[in-house]
Amino acid sequence: MTYVRTALTVACLVTTGFVSETAHPDETPPGDSDAGAGIQSSVRDGLELESHFEPFKLNLGTLQTDSPESSLKTDEWRVDFTMWAWLSGITGDVGVRGLTTNVNADIGDVLDASDSILAFSGRLEFGKDRWGIFIDGTYMKIGVDDVSGPLGFADIDITNEMYLIDFGATYRLGEWTASGEAARNSRDITLDLYAGGRYTKVALELNPALLASRSRNKEWLDPIVGAKLVLPINQQWHIAANGDIGGFGVESDFTWSTTVVFGSDFMMFDHPATMYIGYRAVGWDFTEGSGSERFTWDVVMHGPILGLLLQF
């Protein structure tokens, strides 16, 4: 700024004739009037530069504040803990030691045959800036009675105890401010990508009416990749949807999952909380062995889901 003011002072002296009076005649070019006009133009440019210098800095700061990078909560950790209760049915083919059967049981069928149809889940997620990590565990024990056996002969009772753990890392691809009524929601529209693994452990027992029962425990690990979208609806409600695919022949030929929930936000113990209700489905196409050692888990488990999330 000191240099600008000095330049303006010199320019003013030139326009008042001080320089022209003290300069040597032979140093003054013939186009004296043109030079004077150029000097006056430089003075005007200098004045405009000074008048716009401060606002330019303010505008730059505004642009930085509104940029996608700074709209993320770069200085805050996100810690979410969610408790889930999943009421699941089962559809597909299951097989143990060469005996394979088709099962198609909704929640009512499972309820008739099981002591419990609830799958209890918990999810813990840490995040900062664009990155995060998560682990999501599920335990369930369900049963289905009187499933038709091979060629329609003999009924089979099926019991399944399963452990399911999803884990991985997330990356926030984008974060945008909602419009309209949804703008009153404290949440923004967010889109996350994630990659990790799905660990599955199944204790499967088939109990045919006319044959000896057979069982087997099997566990495997599949890679998964997916995305999650959060979309505010109004001041209190939002939609959260995620889906992934995996397997790719590493263990399962294919595995996938999808969850869509409506969330209602409120405060609990002085912390933000959300009550969720929605639907979840997880599928596998896994087969191992042959003949009497063949194990098949080619099923989709699906049903309504209830959840409670706490943020810290």
pLDDT in the model for residue 163:
97
Domain of 176: which CATH number? 2.40.128.100
Query: Within this chain, do residues 35 and 93 fall inside the same structural domain, yes or no?
Result: no
Query: Within this chain, do residues 188 and 261 fall inside the same structural domain, yes or no?
Result: yes
Query: Within this chain, do residues 172 and 299 fall inside the same structural domain, yes or no?
Result: yes
Give the residue carrying structure tokens 């289905």: 144
Please state, in angstroms and rounded to a whole number, the distance separating the CA atoms of residues 127 and 225: 18
pLDDT in the model for residue 116:
57
Inter-residue contact 287 to 295 (CB < 8 Å): yes
Using the 3D structure, point to which of 66, 93, 118 is the last residue of a domain. 66
- pTM here is 0.74
Query: Within this chain, do residues 236 and 129 fall inside the same structural domain, yes or no?
Result: yes
* Residue at 12: amino acid letter: C
pLDDT in the model for residue 309:
97
Query: Within this chain, do residues 38 and 107 fall inside the same structural domain, yes or no?
Result: no
pLDDT per residue of the chain (312 residues) written in tens, 0 to 9:
444 444 444 444 444 443 344 444 444 444 454 545 554 554 455 444 444 434 433 333 333 333 333 345 545 788 999 999 999 999 999 999 989 999 998 888 787 776 556 678 999 999 999 999 999 999 998 888 878 776 555 689 899 999 999 999 999 999 999 999 999 998 999 999 999 999 999 999 999 888 889 999 999 999 999 999 999 999 999 999 999 999 999 999 999 999 999 999 999 988 999 999 999 999 999 999 998 899 999 999 999 999 999 998
Query: Within this chain, do residues 273 and 143 fall inside the same structural domain, yes or no?
Result: yes
Query: Within this chain, do residues 178 and 210 fall inside the same structural domain, yes or no?
Result: yes
Query: Within this chain, do residues 48 and 190 fall inside the same structural domain, yes or no?
Result: no
Please state, in angstroms and rounded to a whole number, the distance separating the CA atoms of residues 204 and 221: 17
pLDDT in the model for residue 150:
64
User: How many other β-carbons are positioned within 10 Å of the β-carbon of residue 303?
Assistant: 18
Query: Within this chain, do residues 87 and 206 fall inside the same structural domain, yes or no?
Result: yes
Domain range spanning residue 160? 74-311
Query: Within this chain, do residues 176 and 251 fall inside the same structural domain, yes or no?
Result: yes
Query: Within this chain, do residues 6 and 132 fall inside the same structural domain, yes or no?
Result: no
Inter-residue contact 170 to 67 (CB < 8 Å): no
H/E element, 254: strand 254-268
Query: Within this chain, do residues 45 and 92 fall inside the same structural domain, yes or no?
Result: no
Please state, in angstroms and rounded to a whole number, the distance separating the CA atoms of residues 51 and 72: 34
pLDDT in the model for residue 144:
87
Of 184, 177, 178, give the one whose Cα is nearest residue 236. Answer: 184
Give 231's strand partners.
239
Give the count of domains, the chain: 2
